[in-house]
Each structure stands twice: as structure tokens, then as C-alpha cells.
Structure 1
């Protein structure tokens, strides 16, 4: 059995592989696989070694369970004793269907998305430095396991998509800021300018109308971004305002200053962000 976790073929389960070089903040673990029709549960464990007796500590135990309506249980095993369970009563996996799990390593927590949708956060209970093994067990089929470092050179600069999307998914680079603009193609006007600035934890909103910027709006109860994190940002447009949610949590509202909403047909994304997906509906 291979001990490297970068795999591109069908992987035998149970799988236990060494994490070469350990884990660092900003790194992604990307797992592609599928759930068998008879699955009852499976688990992905970030372990401190591979000992069976005594059982190695498990820093992060990610355990989808399919009984009843289904849930995802997360926990930590230390000195052969489980801690308190953190249960997410949402089941993003479907029997007989493929999936993509992305585990983002952050300085103080793990962030998990499934099929490009944010699922959960789990605070570290064991230091990252101790994690050196990835284990996958249970009724699951795994096609590939990949590690993506934060130095991988995928950066969007000034890309545009017609018909401004409402849902954005991406990964923040370990840097300062990024911008989302909703614009009209027949003028210089910017109906909505979103500019999260990570260094100062400021979320700027504004509009560019008649060749000048308006007054900035900065108030937000909680700054939702951190360097290296995976995020899903949704912009909902109603008759009076834009509403913005990040990772499923309502973050802000912005009253329309640009009134001709039907003319907004350009999306512009710039800055230090890796854009994974854009959708509109």
C-alpha cells in the first residue's frame, strides 16, 4: 500500500497514508469519491500516527452517518478516549452519488465543504504539528486524495462573467483583499462594490456612479473572512437592496443606489482570491 496521500486511482479502503511534510494553515485536502448504495457510515480521520494498539490519537474525526435522516459527527480521540461530539444535522452526501470533500486547514480550525458548499467548522483540539496520517474507513469508495498548498499559482485577476452571478465560491489567498463588482456594460457605473480587506478586517461596500465613488459603508457585526479560508458568498437582490450571506450566515444589506437593476449584466472579480465557481439564478 502506498504511503503518500497524493493518489489518482481507486484507493483500497481502509486507507491509511502518511501526510508527507505534515499540515500547514492554508492547505487543502481534496477527496473525491462516491457513497455505495448500502452505506451506513464512513469516516475521514486526521491522525497522530497509525498505531492500532494503543490506538493513535485522532485530531479530526469526520464521520457521516446515514441512518434516519443522516448527520455528520465530528470529534477528537485522545489517549483512546473520545471527546464531545459536534453534530451537523445536514447530510450533503447521497447514496450512489459522487462527492468532493475539501478540508481547509486554518490556523485555529478545520473548515469542511462538500460538493463546493460550506458544511462545518471544527476548532483544533490537538495541535496541527502532531498530525501526520490520513485514515479513511467504512463504506465508501475513494477515487483520489490530493493536497493543494496555498502557494499553488491559481489567482484570478480582472476576470469577467456576463450576467452577474449571485453565488460565488472561492478560497482566499494569504494576502490582503479582493473585490466583487456588479456593473452595467453600457457605462462605467458600479452598482455594487464589495471589498473585504483582511488585514484590517473591514468589509467595504460602495457604488461608482456618475464618475465618482459614493460614501463607503463598513459596518458589519462580524467580519466573516480569514486568510486561506474556503468561502461561499451569496448575493440576493430584491427590489430595495442587496443582501449578502457568507457561508450561510447573513452578513450585510446594501440599499440600491443604482436603480436600473435590469442593466446590471457584468460580474467582475479581482484580487487575492482563487475563484472556484460562480452561479446565477
Structure 2
């Protein structure tokens, strides 16, 4: 995998399917208050990245904090009614794909080795399946997957995805992986942060025994074309070739 600073190394063609990825939780469920681990984010073709994600998200920044270049964090977001409305409108009107796979301390793992890799391994496989779901509706020639850089997790992510392959109509698709720091201010990474914040809240909602969907999750994954949304909350994993079950949006 390569490290990239958005402008120098991330060279996308108009037919590149680019996927920006953030995580939520900890791969060992180390956070007692947030016992989940998930990967997810947003995707679009290179030719649509500016129009569908970058420019509209800069307009969100402008509306929320008065600066189109300010970096937003979902966990520190000023959730006033007006600000929430701006973000909800962004997710409901921009036709980019949004995907996520997540598990929690309540997920059952059978046959996944080594045990300390169960969450990451299961989520990484399920995440690639989410990409398959949205990719089958998209005409693309190659793929770029851009992870938000993390000192803790980069080496683990690199190891899990090192042998990932993707085929389209039986033919292999060139795929490149990148790490990009949050400090670049890449709007698509911020959008992925907001997506995964909503996903984490939804799973905590489920763990507490509550029904239905939390509002920010609905804003991200509902009221959008089904071809643009793919989510799984993994409840059980059995090590028979990629057999998984869970709650889908």
C-alpha cells in the first residue's frame, strides 16, 4: 500500500472507482463504551468525485463553520438543528455510494484464526462484499481504495488487504490501496468519517436492545437508491468460505 497526500499521488482516471474508507471502534473491541469494529465510507467514479463529494462537502463546511476548507469531525460536530439539516440534505441529494461492514462484542465467531484477528478479518471480507454490491452497477476500469491513515491500524489493514482481488465479469480488475492522513483535508475522508459515526451509533443502538434505525443512519443509508447503499451488521461468522449473516439496511 502507498501513502498519499491527495494531490501528489492519488491520480484517478475518469473511470476509476474510488472508495474512501474510515473505521469505527477498535479491532480488539478495546473501547468499553464503543465495543465495535467496522470499516466503511463513500465511493464514486473519479469523474464524479469533485461534483458529487468534494464540492458539495465544502459547501457543508461553509454552511456549518463558515470555512470551506475547515476540517470537520463527526464526533465533535455541533449538532444544531440547522447543521444537522445541512448534513442530512447532503447525504440525501448526492448520488454517491455509501458502504459499511461492522461487528461488535456480541458477534459470534467460529473457526476464524487467529482469534485476535477475528473482528478485522471478518469485517475486511464483508467490506469487500459491500464494494461488490455497489460496483456491479458501475462502469469502471480500475479501483482505488483509500484508507484514512492510522498509526495503530495501518500495518494490520495492509496485511489483511494485501491479497485482495476483484473481478468484473470474470476478469481481474486492477486495484490499488492507499493510506491518506486526515490532515490532508480530503472531503471524501470526512464524509466517510460521518458515515462510520452513524454506523457506530446504529450498532450501539442495536446492542442496547432498541429497535429501528437512528436518525443519522437513516439519513446516510435510507432515502437513497438501493444500488448506492450496502451495509451489514455482522451477528455471526462461520469459517466456511465467507459465510456470514447479519442485519442489512
Q: TM-score, normalised by structure 1?
A: 0.24
Q: Hey, which of these two has a bigger chunk of helix by percent? A: 2
Normalization by structure 2: what TM-score? 0.26
- Of Structure 1 and Structure 2, which has the larger fraction of its residues in strand? 1
Which of these two proteins has the greater Rg computed from alpha carbons?
1
Structure showing greater relative contact order (alpha-carbon pairs closer than 8 Å, 6 or more residues apart)? 2
